[in-house]
Amino acid sequence: MQSPITTTITATIQNSNLTPSFPPKFPLNPLRLRPEFLNRRSSTNMASSSTSFGRFKMNSKLDNNSDGFLTISEYAGKGGVDVGDDLVVLFSHLEYAFKRIAALVASPANSSLGRTSGGGEDVSSGRDKPKPLDTVSNEIILSSLRKSGKVAVMASEEDDAPTWIADDAPFVVVTDPLDGSRNIDASIPTGTIFGIYNRLVELDSLPVDEKAMLNSLQSGSRLIAAGYVLYSSATIICTTFGSGSHAFTLDHSTGDFVLTHPNIKIPPRGQIYSVNDARYFDWPEGLRRYIDTIRQGKGKFPKKYSARYICSLVADLHRTLMYGGVAMNPRDHLRLVYEANPLSFVVEQAGGKGSDGKNRILSIQPVKLHQRLPLFLGSPDDIEELESYGDVQQTVNPGYDV
């Protein structure tokens, strides 16, 4: 039986009369776009090009800039998939925020910001304990969203409640500003996770706090865009606008994020699993059987699986997206709104699956802003095989943080 709050939220959001429109159409703000983007030729005259980046090949009919690559604005704009002018403007401000965070986490001058402050009160509602880098990253993103003029409300893992920004702006942004910040001292990759929804206009008459919360508690099935940023040897934005997943790499010579991994397709099955298996003896019997089986090559895929675990959600997922397999945290540790929904949208758009071990992530209606759940992301065949073992959600937690 559903609780009263579940019934209320589901009735308000999931069964709303509002039909999400995509792509959204709003007036263009040319001051926020690259001049060369404004002078693009029409899509009917676009030239073909072929460039390569590492092990990936880009064959695009989109008009490219002089070095053969497309920027996010060019890809998303009228010369590309045309997601709507307001969303292009929003992404230009998000790009700026991500570049600032990338510089922040890489700067030796700010290395002390990643260290745990001694004796401070734990005021963060995020997965990691509060660290200055988390706070600074959160402020950077909030500032960029305010300046964009396109965001009505922002909900962050670092805040207890959503922040209402503008009454008439079209979008809602949910974010984990700096995932894995506990790894900064060891120079392990970190990341940012984000999701974008349309504002629920039929809630506009409600009090600010109430409409901010309900806008932030939309089901993942209503996402219009989502992605993650990997801060590592390269800074990469992997994003989807609902028509495939694509990765853009920061070109430090120009300051642009350029398309390097178009139409990412996760392999149907991988040979890698990613989990902290030091917790093996706390796992349920079904998950232990699954891991034992694939490690011995006795599963549906007749090869022995290898373990790869960074303890950085974005980094572990990015590797899984590239090579296949499954990345998981079997206990109710990760947040549905800020992490599970956006990442599941990216994975599904790449042909993979996101699950809590029993249910499709994007079908779960959030009832709390910081609602936690187990998370399994990866290749469709691997996720289906894992779910077939039944008992894969860890309920025992002796008190560890990660």
Domain count, the chain: 2
277 is catalytic: no
CA distance 356 to 366: 13
Measured in degrees and rounded to the nearest 5, phi and psi for residue 24 equal -70, 145
Over pLDDT 90: what percentage of the chain?
71
128 is catalytic: yes
What's the pLDDT band for 3 if we cut at 50, 70, 90?
A: low
**Residue 203 to residues 5, 20, 307, 375, Cα–Cα distance (Å):** 17, 14, 46, 30
Over pLDDT 70: what percentage of the chain?
77
For range 327-341, the mean pLDDT: 97
The catalytic position among 74, 85, 86, 157 is 157
Residue 118, pLDDT score: 42
The radius of gyration of the chain from alpha carbons, rounded to an integer in Å, stands at: 21
298's CB contacts (< 8 A; 6+ apart) are none
CATH number at residue 240: 3.30.540.10
Residue 222, pLDDT score: 98
- How are the residues of the chain apportioned to helix, strand and coil, as percentages rounded to the nearest 5? 35, 25, 40
Note whether residue 85 is domain-resident. Answer: yes
Note whether residue 48 is domain-resident. Answer: no
157 is catalytic: yes
176 is catalytic: yes
Measured in degrees and rounded to the nearest 5, phi and psi for residue 57 equal -120, 130
Same domain, 334 and 304: yes
Q: Is the pLDDT of residue 334 over 80?
A: yes
Note whether residue 30 is domain-resident. Answer: no
Residue 53, pLDDT score: 33
Q: What are the tens digits of pLDDT across the range 144-163?
A: 999 999 999 999 999 999 99
Q: Is the pLDDT of residue 268 over 60?
A: yes
Same domain, 120 and 224: yes
Q: Is the pLDDT of residue 31 over 90?
A: no
For range 165-180, the mean pLDDT: 97
Note whether residue 351 is domain-resident. Answer: yes
Same domain, 297 and 236: no
Note whether residue 210 is domain-resident. Answer: yes
Residue 123, pLDDT score: 43
CA distance 398 to 219: 31
Same domain, 216 and 70: yes
Could you say which DSSP state residue 87 is in?
H
Q: What is the mean pLDDT of the chain?
A: 84
Q: Is the pLDDT of residue 22 over 80?
A: no
Note whether residue 13 is domain-resident. Answer: no
18 vs 306: which has the higher pLDDT: 306
Note whether residue 398 is domain-resident. Answer: no
Residue 357 corresponds to which tokens in the numbers above? 């071990």
For range 320-331, the mean pLDDT: 98
Same domain, 112 and 254: yes
Domain boundary pick from 240, 264, 288:
264
Same domain, 290 and 251: no
Domain boundary pick from 264, 286, 307:
264
State which of 19-23, 25-29, 64-68, 91-95 shows the largest mean pLDDT.
Answer: 91-95
The catalytic position among 85, 158, 356, 381 is 158
Residue 131, pLDDT score: 55
The catalytic position among 134, 256, 348, 387 is 134
Residue 367 corresponds to which tokens in the numbers above? 């009832």
The catalytic position among 90, 94, 178, 334 is 178
Reference 366, options 174, 125, 135; nearest CA is 174
Domain boundary pick from 264, 280, 308:
264
Q: 347 in helix, strand or coil?
A: helix
Same domain, 241 and 279: no
26 vs 247: which has the higher pLDDT: 247
348 is catalytic: no
Same domain, 289 and 349: yes
Q: What are the tens digits of pLDDT across the range 200-229?
A: 999 999 999 999 999 999 999 999 999 999
**Residue 152 to residues 30, 196, 213, 337, Cα–Cα distance (Å):** 21, 11, 12, 17
CA distance 39 to 56: 29
Whether 225 and 195 have beta carbons less than 8 Å apart is answered as: yes
CATH number at residue 365: 3.40.190.80
204 is catalytic: no
pTM of the model: 0.82
The catalytic position among 74, 85, 128, 356 is 128
Structural domain of residue 365, as residue ranges? 272-387
For range 10-33, the mean pLDDT: 42
CA distance 105 to 108: 8
What's the pLDDT band for 45 if we cut at 50, 70, 90?
A: very low
Lowest-confidence range among 186-190, 337-341, 376-380? 186-190
Same domain, 276 and 250: no
The catalytic position among 95, 256, 339, 356 is 339
285 is catalytic: no
Same domain, 209 and 80: yes
Note whether residue 86 is domain-resident. Answer: yes
Q: What are the tens digits of pLDDT across the range 91-120?
A: 999 999 999 999 999 987 766 655 544 444
Q: Is the pLDDT of residue 310 over 70?
A: yes
339 is catalytic: yes
Q: By CB neighbour count within 10 A (0-12 exposed, 13-18 middle, 19+ buried), where does 256 fall?
A: buried
Residue 50, pLDDT score: 32
Same domain, 91 and 162: yes
Q: 51 in helix, strand or coil?
A: strand
